Structure 1
């Protein structure tokens, strides 16, 4: 059995329904709207996995750094950056304990990677590390799942989808109906199954991924406990200006929070 996070190529394929260049467009628009200096010169992606967003930033000029705990993900991110001919610093470290000795204009944590923070203490430690690495005019953007996905009978994100890239087809199931959220810990063991077909062959990846659900009010609480950060704005999707989507909008499908240093 191979875990999904131990196969970065498969993980990147599973997430290829995301339009990373368009999302980076919006991240830059948010910087223009909420930073006096506008466009960031330095970017740090935390819990970066394949570091697709960091690599896209690097293509556009900012000095980009990607940090992840998984050595396979780090190696993959570095290889892909070299293949694309972009400069990317890759650091293997824990998102709750890292110390890079410098500050960044923009820090991002994408794809609900904060769901790997299982306790309030871990989330507070993470936010304190992020705050310590923000430049005085810096922004920290945290993308999380929308609370509707766990607190409603009408989730905004499907647990099953298909993707196709370069002649390879994959069907993904991330979570099963039997994967129940523990009402005390707010942790669910999400069963992941990914079937990849191409060139007449097929392989199946299976994994169990612990997922910690965070509510909007809990997020507010850990920000207050961490100190050093304040909320600038919250959005329900990647959109800026007239295309901005409020967190309370019926079409919102993410909980995206923009933070800056106090």
Structure 2
């Protein structure tokens, strides 16, 4: 049985509620703010990139973009999508905890809470080490994570439903079930995913998967940063806007790092 990460087209469709061009604009704005004096961003690396939507958008705007992902299907899809869009994109199949590309970048990003695939503190620390090792002088690492309120708030969000429309395609997505439980020791939950896709009024296609999800708190992120010692935070945001992490409207935990 194949899962959601084995079907990059469906995964990209599921995430199409995101406004990627607007998000990339914000990311570049944060770069202008936090790397003043180093000039515009010329090189970008997206880690755990999946379909590499953000990397492709960076490439459309001029920077040389590289997308790295562990899944062969995602890498192949990202390369095809970039070619179809007429943009230059280097695609690398590698692990976000061990990659060594032999060059440095003005900007490294990890989007869509992909750090939830790092299951241990050692893995997270290794990932931070690798990201820092690939930063050029003045370079930034920006990581987008889920907001801790999702799991620790008064009304934890253990499941999310949404609907997307694209062309003649309709899809409903349910990521997580109320019965999914976060293990209090490992802080890992097996999130049940169900996606139903209907194309041009045809028969529905259902994709089911179980995705291990590692929940990271803000203090654990700080601990991983201290253990690594290679990065320091220079900005924290609760959305792709200038709102604080503790703002009631905050729905993401986004941190901007630079190399120490």
TM-score, length of structure 1 as denominator length: 0.97
In structure 2, distance between residues paired with 1:43 and 1:99: 15
| Equivalent position SS for 2:103 | coil
CA contact (8 A) 1:43 1:107 kept: yes
CA contact (8 A) 1:109 1:142 kept: yes
Q: 2:236 pairs with 234, 254, 257, which one?
A: 234
Matched, 1:190 2:184: no
Per the TM alignment, residue 201 of structure 1 is displaced from its structure 2 partner at its CA by 1.9
Aligned-residue RMSD, C-alpha: 1.1
List gaps (5 residues or longer) in structure 2. none
CA contact (8 A) 2:158 2:180 kept: no
| Equivalent position SS for 1:201 | coil
List gaps (5 residues or longer) in structure 1. none
In structure 2, distance between residues paired with 1:103 and 1:69: 20
| Equivalent position SS for 2:129 | helix
In structure 1, distance between residues paired with 2:9 and 2:154: 33
Per the TM alignment, residue 142 of structure 1 is displaced from its structure 2 partner at its CA by 0.3
TM-score, length of structure 2 as denominator length: 0.97
Name segments (4+ residues, structure 1) moved above 6 Å.
Answer: none
| Equivalent position SS for 2:125 | helix
| Equivalent position SS for 2:98 | coil
In structure 1, distance between residues paired with 2:188 and 2:156: 17
In structure 1, distance between residues paired with 2:99 and 2:191: 27
Superposed, 1:21-100 pairs within 5 Å as: 21-36=21-36, 37-100=38-101
In structure 1, distance between residues paired with 2:107 and 2:137: 11
Matched, 1:16 2:16: yes
Task: Report the counterpart of residue 249 of structure 1 in structure 2.
Answer: 247
Aligned residues between the structures: 258
